[in-house]
Structure 1
Amino acid sequence: MKIFADQNMPLVEQYFADFGEITRFDGRNLRPEQLIDVDVLLTRSVTAVNSSLLAQANKLRFVGTATIGVDHIDTQLLSDRAIAFSSAPGCNAIAVAEYVISSLFALSQENAQPLCGRTIGIVGVGNIGSCLADKLKALNVDILLCDPPKYEQGLLNEHVDLDELLERCDAVTFHVPLVKSGEYKTLHMMNKNRLKALKPGLTLINASRGDVIDNQALLEVMEGGADLDLVLDVWEKEPNILIKLLEHVRYASVHIAGHTLEGKARGTQMLYQKLCELEGVEVSKSLDDFLPTPAITNTTVTQNLNEQDIARLVHLIYDVRRDDGILLRHLESDGFDSLRKNYPIRREFSTLLLQGNSPQLAALSQLGFSIAE
């Protein structure tokens, strides 16, 4: 079996070597002729899998994307050609939720405004949005949810219209797929009219798809004096992002919200499990076989733990300001894709084992930290 895998997918050799020969490729520069005689294609979000790319793919029988989103995949084409397909829904949900929580705590610290009592709006309540909502319940914040299709399908008990949510919230975070047309269109969901109407002091976080916010309109609104705290991990026209917008963003990063070591590895593992299913092979490998021991594994917390201390624990594992600094200092010299490719190792809250007698341990467990028995 001949397997082609994106160069930025971790643990491919560990999971897939038993299936056959593995070749790595540059996700943005994969050419049709490279797919001649390839059996399995493993991609990430930067590779558009369409009729042009697959024009010479004469043996392809499985395409997998190690991402939650599938807007870069022509799934109908794969179906028409009887090519099996799998994505990795939920693989990075924990990572993206922790990116948002790190951002909220960083803003809380710098703005001298406690999170407790604030109202957080989540737009899109799929794997990531629901994971974030569960974690935020540990922080004594009010949570408003917006997801029209899920609400209308009876999959969501509560729902607030987007415009009402924008008015009522202190921070709004987006976790929707990119839908380019139709009733549930998310392309430019945040258009110029909505952006102009935002109340002063609102925090706007986008860790879904760059096209959900009209970046040019956002720049114009910010240049016009809008008072917004922006946290942007995704951008229109990546990797050629709107550089001038960076001047107005509190925390900027290179589409890495989901890039914990665990999150990326889960995506690889899910594709491995799917190929095992297709080939009738027993699943024999798991993340625990491959993930390294983190540098910091445990700590003790006391009864005096407060919100600021929880913020310090969060930032001990991951501080979004690190990634903001990397982008601002190295984007011009290294470029967006290079920074994304060479993203420093980041772990999840669960890698830190907490022990002690603090009444906050239950909340810390809900945030995702491990708790000693």
Structure 2
Amino acid sequence: MKILLVGAGLSGAVIGRELAEAGHDCRIIDARPHIAGNCHTERDPDTGVMMHVYGPHIFHTDDQGVWDYVNRFATFLPFQNRVKTTAQDRVYSLPINLLTINQFFGTTLRPDEARALIESKADTTITDPQSFEDQALRFVGPELYEAFFKGYTEKQWGCSPTQLPASILKRLPVRFNYDDNYFFHRFQGMPRDGYTAMVAAILDHPRITVDLDTPFTPQMGAAADHVFWSGPLDGYFDYRLGRLGYRTLDFERFTTQGDYQGCAVMNYGDRQVPFTRITEHKHFSPWETHEGTVCYREYARAAEPGETPYYPIRLVQEKALLEQYVDLARGTPGVTFVGRLGTYRYLDMDVTIREALETVAVFNRNSDPMPAFTVTV
């Protein structure tokens, strides 16, 4: 079959590779001048630092199959994300752990003592947390919430934490030991040569052609036997029902010599600091040595038309509009919507890859007709 894949990020690359290996001819197009989507990496020409152009992407997963898959196409080296935060004129370790608790409260508590302290500060009158703020107050109390969650969340999402669902804080945001590894998955690392090189290796197949700087047109779709769309769901329909809400990021890039902040990620929890964090990119490749350094200050705001969408908002208004677009998509034959933008969900890289592989499995089962979605949107 002749397959058109719109978007040369992880979803398009993995689906294209798997279908090409199954004997299909795959054309992958992308409106941007590069492959790899938002995980695109490139060398800074002045410092030699490997840049995460659209912000840091750290690979972490418990999925053995996905870990084996990415290691087919790249050499992964160990990397653990150890985030720090500047709040109330002090630096702390994140996620909140035993060191953070002892630093913050000026104590020397053991795990059981720290657990009792946090429970004494938690608002136990909240029995069914509905909002982000409820969830935080219930589990960590007002002091830790104010220092580490409230201001950062207001900047990240552009609204009060009382307007955000409790599900954003899915897990108890406290560790009662000294483990400061931000993630808890057994496989964690970075591709030695960057994500773009990895995606290029995935796309390296004689049945795959890639056209960059190439926006989608309906004529392209009509010429294909099937289309896999990893662009914005509402964008496929020319936003005819309105635009789904996204947050986007502005990056203020700056360079200096030496080591600017001593870590890859420094959050800024205070509301009066306008940016959410500073990322120092050479620390994402700790096996490399560079005299210069490149940093990003990150500012979050509402995405405007034509800007790069990062985080789907998925509040009440957006969910209602999403349902309308999902109905429209299900009534559109010959197109399957995939990935972060196509399904309007926040996805980690490993989940994106797993869903791409499962989408191909559905396609290869000769599903007739191929559904608009292979996941619950």
**What TM-score results when the alignment is normalised by the length of structure 2?**
0.25
**What TM-score results when the alignment is normalised by the length of structure 1?**
0.25
Bigger radius of gyration among the two: 2
Higher relative contact order (CA 8 A, sep 6+): 2
